[in-house]
Amino acid sequence: MKKYFIIAVAALVAGAACSKVETVDNRPDKKISFEVANYSGQTKAAGDTISVLAETSRFSSKAWLHANDAATGTDFFGTATNKYTEDVNYNGSNAWEPTLEYFWPKGAGSYVNFVSWYTKNQKAQLDSAAVTETLMEWGTGANPVTIVTDDNILFADEAWRYTDNAETYKFNGVTKGVPTLFHHALAKLAFNVRLSTITTSTKSVWDVDIDTVELKVGNNGYLTLSNEDPVSNTTRAWKVGADYSTGLAATSENIGWVRPTTPTLETIVEDGRGSETEEFIAVQFSDFKPTTLTSGHAVSGEFQVLLPERTVMPQVIDGGVVTFKMTFYIRVFHADSNGDKAEFDGVDGIDDNDAFSTELITIEKNLHDLVGAIDNWKMNTKYTYNITIDPVGKTVLFDPAVVKWATTEEEQEIYNAAN
């Protein structure tokens, strides 16, 4: 991380009495504002509908004033009523500003420390009364946080010893302010599905309908972030654990969240059978014709969304808690001379486009057993499980991708009708 140093220059005016003139800036426009890193995908300030903060234009912050270089800070924002917490709002133009006005301290050696965070849903709210300059906790072992699908939790690097608005993350006209770079405390998850086969067939056509998808995940835990005063004017990342010096950096390199002794589970069920209460839009592949195969190349369709992207609690997934279930129909039709579904016009009692074979396939297993390449879900990381169904050979492959590392694992077979 780049470090920025501010060099203070004292102006001495020599006079007959050798008097000192102090250059204190008492201008009323020295208000505190925030400079959110709006080039960072998860927290673009404006004009981006997928940005978390663009949707709400608000996050929370606490600040502590160390007057005249005092070792102990005093609450600077808000009042006891709101637990000394301020809402920071995007003004619709180019600045993030606290609801109330605050000004930078003028005293010699005075500075302010800032801690900022964001939570989307009420269940995941942080108890701001427990936030200090060196500690931020989401839940405890006795009282863990429970998240629901599409929750979001962000925490920003702490801003230590600031005396003026900075330009650390200045970009695209956004005003300078307290440097605020957010990180996701949760993980993101998505499932896609497609058809593919290496087996040709000139006399049959396949349809595949996804019937139901069920994902069971742990949805509660607790996260402890700690920090310490580095005695410098800079931003500093939080770390996981009670001791900052020995803790792990709070990045996607570690899980961070701890599962309680008795975890609770969220069962995400998507139903393709027309239920208006479910999000799931029926995924159907029609008229799959594996007749254009060239040597060594599979006939493939495009990926479709199976489970929409959603946030999940970072967690170990090899302990049997996270399970995946999918049921789908494979229907086989005769093909005519053009490779289309044959029409029999009622001859021999067969209706138009009737399948001569219909099978319901069920896959249900611990997700880690299906995809052993991923042991856990980590903070600030997106996991995409690309599922390939081969309706001809009747195999199903998982091809997981981890965005943080931009790598893709080998395809792993999770179902084979021959076994």
pLDDT digits (tens, 9 = 90+) for 142-178: 888 888 877 888 899 999 999 999 888 765 556 788 9
Give the residue with greater pLDDT, 51 vs 108.
Answer: 108
8 Å CB contact between 54 and 45: yes
Buried b / exposed e over 381-406, threshold 16 CB at 10 Å, is: bbbbbbbbbbbbebbbbbbbbbeeee
Residue 402 has pLDDT above 60, yes or no: yes
Residue 317 has pLDDT above 90, yes or no: no
* pLDDT for the residue 294: 74
Give the residue with greater pLDDT, 55 vs 237.
Answer: 237
* pLDDT for the residue 182: 84
Task: Tell me the pTM.
Answer: 0.81
Residue 37: which of 63, 78, 1 has the closest Cα? 1
- The two three-digit tokens of residue 50, written as one number: 């997928």
Give the residue with greater pLDDT, 219 vs 346.
Answer: 219
Per-residue confidence band for 181, with pLDDT thresholds at 50, 70 and 90: confident
Q: What is the mean pLDDT of residues 63-88?
A: 93
Residue 247 has pLDDT above 90, yes or no: no
Residue 20 has pLDDT above 80, yes or no: no
Q: In sequence order, what E strands does 254-394 have?
A: 265-271, 284-288, 299-300, 304-312, 315-316, 323-334, 357-366, 376-377, 382-390
Instruction: Write down how long the chain is.
Output: 419
Per-residue confidence band for 252, with pLDDT thresholds at 50, 70 and 90: low
Give dist(CA 368, CA 414) in Å, integer: 11
* pLDDT for the residue 403: 59
Indicate the residue type of 274: G
